[in-house]
């Protein structure tokens, strides 16, 4: 397994930020979580106040999953949505435009003939779809590492960003995430499986049975083997993206179930990387809650989002900018006289 040197956020800058926050013209602690975020950003940037968060970039990792039948929507939506991202008409592109964030889509494993999309979209393609995890491995030997390296290369190419956001598009990916989180945390299928795009009743029971079958199919030995057995090329690429961002000290805002699951695996590959990640929002998926708890991350927003694509993380960006503005611009109690 590759090893990574993960830098440590600046404890002295954090302490200086906390001291400054206590001295601002407000009762101590009265801006609640915003104060904690201001201190987090100060530690990440190693300076008080932290730098402006002007350059925010979303990378949507798109791919198909062998368990797509467990979704409320057909598999073909994944490919169709790639065109919607490129046309700027997706949920995340519309929300990103509101906060001045850029959106890039990377076809890691979409099951289509992508002949007419720009080369930059497919430059990091690993395969078409991933295996059906209840009956076979998601990935062939070597593919988890190749996808992980693709995600690292993508983060490296976006490394001038002030904030990176991993987005996801993949019909069936909540089934894969449930299996990976259950495997990593030793949980039973029925505790981690959620409604995804909107399955209920017998369909939800079938989805739970698929996750249970995947978990009992074979043991896993390490995080890359977990990605191979139960994950997908997109999940491995997102994990690589998160590790590379952390190794460069670039703050990341995680989104919903997919990026939280990738983060759980990425933390196992590169312990300490989680210090560079914030949880943008709480999704409705139980596996996201389990993963964030295990990572020690508390969501910034709770708006009932379950779209994925990076949408919830993008929606948290104004809150982070507000945290920075408070510590940069508020007056000091000491100046009141």
Ligand X SMILES: O=C(O)c1ccc[n+]([C@@H]2O[C@H](COP(=O)([O-])O)[C@@H](O)[C@H]2O)c1
Q: Which of 196, 223, 286, 299 binds ligand X (CB under 6 A)?
A: 196
Q: How far apart are CA 262 and CA 1, in angstroms?
A: 16
C-beta closer to ligand X: residue 34 or 171: 171
Q: Which of residues 142-171 bind ligand X (CB under 6 A)?
A: 168-171
Cβ proximity to ligand DMD, 244 vs 309, nearer residue: 309
Instruction: Show contacts with ligand X in window 26-85 (CB under 6 A).
Output: 71-73
Q: Which does 196 bind (CB under 5 to 8 A by kind): ligand X, ligand DMD, none?
A: ligand X
Binding site for ligand DMD (CB under 6 A): 73, 77, 81, 169, 197, 307-309
What is the rounded CA–CA span in Å between residue 281 and residue 266?
A: 19
- Burial of 222 by CB count in 10 Å (0-12 exposed, 13-18 middle, 19+ buried)? exposed
By CB under 6 A, residue 172 contacts ligand X: yes
CB 33 within 8 A of CB 140: no
> Which among ligand DMD, ligand X, none contacts residue 285 (Cβ within 5 to 8 A by kind)?
ligand X
- Partners of 153 in the β-ladder: none
Query: Which residue lies nearer to ligand X by CB, 306 or 321?
Result: 306
Question: Is position 309 annotated as part of the catalytic site?
Answer: yes
Q: Which one of residues 283, 291, 313, 327 is an interface residue with ligand X (CB under 6 A)?
A: 283
280 binds ligand X (CB under 6 A): no
* Residue 179 · residue 214 · CB < 8 Å: yes
Interacting residue with ligand X among 285, 286, 316, 317 (CB under 6 A) = 285
From the list ligand X, ligand DMD, none, pick the one residue 172 interacts with, judged by a Cβ distance below 5 to 8 Å according to partner type.
ligand X
- Cβ proximity to ligand X: between 21 and 314 the closer is 314
- 4, 245, 1, 240: which is closest to 126 by C-alpha? 240
Catalytic residue among 35, 202, 309, 329: 309
Residue whose CB is less far from ligand DMD, 301 or 307: 307
Point out which residues bind ligand X (CB under 6 A): 71-73, 168-175, 196-197, 255-258, 283, 285, 288, 306-309
Q: Catalytic residue numbers?
A: 309
């Amino acid at each position: 397994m590759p090893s990574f040197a993960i830098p440590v956020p600046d404890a002295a800058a954090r302490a200086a930020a906390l001291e400054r926050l206590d001295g601002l013209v407000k009762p101590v602690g009265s801006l609640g979580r915003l104060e904690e975020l201001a201190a987090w950003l100060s530690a990440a940037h190693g300076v008080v106040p932290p730098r402006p968060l002007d350059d925010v970039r979303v990378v949507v990792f798109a791919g198909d999953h062998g368990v797509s039948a467990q979704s409320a929507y057909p598999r073909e939506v994944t490919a169709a949505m790639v065109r919607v991202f490129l046309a700027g008409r997706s949920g995340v592109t519309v929300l990103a435009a509101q906060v001045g964030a850029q959106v890039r889509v990377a076809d890691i494993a979409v099951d289509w003939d992508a002949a007419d999309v720009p080369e930059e979209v497919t430059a990091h393609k690993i395969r078409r779809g991933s295996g059906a995890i209840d009956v076979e491995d998601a990935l062939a030997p070597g593919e988890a590492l190749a996808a992980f390296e693709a995600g690292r290369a993508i983060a490296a190419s976006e490394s001038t960003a002030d904030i990176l956001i991993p987005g996801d598009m993949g019909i069936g990916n909540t089934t894969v995430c449930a299996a990976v989180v259950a495997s990593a945390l030793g949980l039973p299928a029925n505790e981690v499986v959620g409604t995804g795009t909107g399955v209920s009743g017998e369909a939800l029971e079938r989805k739970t049975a698929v996750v249970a079958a995947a978990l009992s199919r074979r043991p896993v030995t390490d995080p890359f083997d977990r990605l191979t057995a139960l994950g997908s090329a997109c999940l491995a690429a997102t994990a690589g993206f998160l590790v590379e961002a952390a190794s460069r000290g670039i703050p990341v805002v995680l989104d919903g179930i997919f990026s939280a699951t990738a983060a759980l695996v990425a933390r196992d590959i590169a312990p300490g990387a989680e210090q560079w990640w914030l949880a943008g929002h709480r999704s409705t998926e139980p596996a996201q809650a389990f993963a964030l708890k295990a990572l020690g991350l508390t969501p910034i927003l709770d708006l009932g989002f379950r779209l994925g694509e990076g949408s919830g993380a993008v929606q948290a960006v104004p809150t982070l900018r507000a945290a920075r503005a408070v510590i940069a611009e508020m007056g000091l109690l000491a100046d009141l006289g």
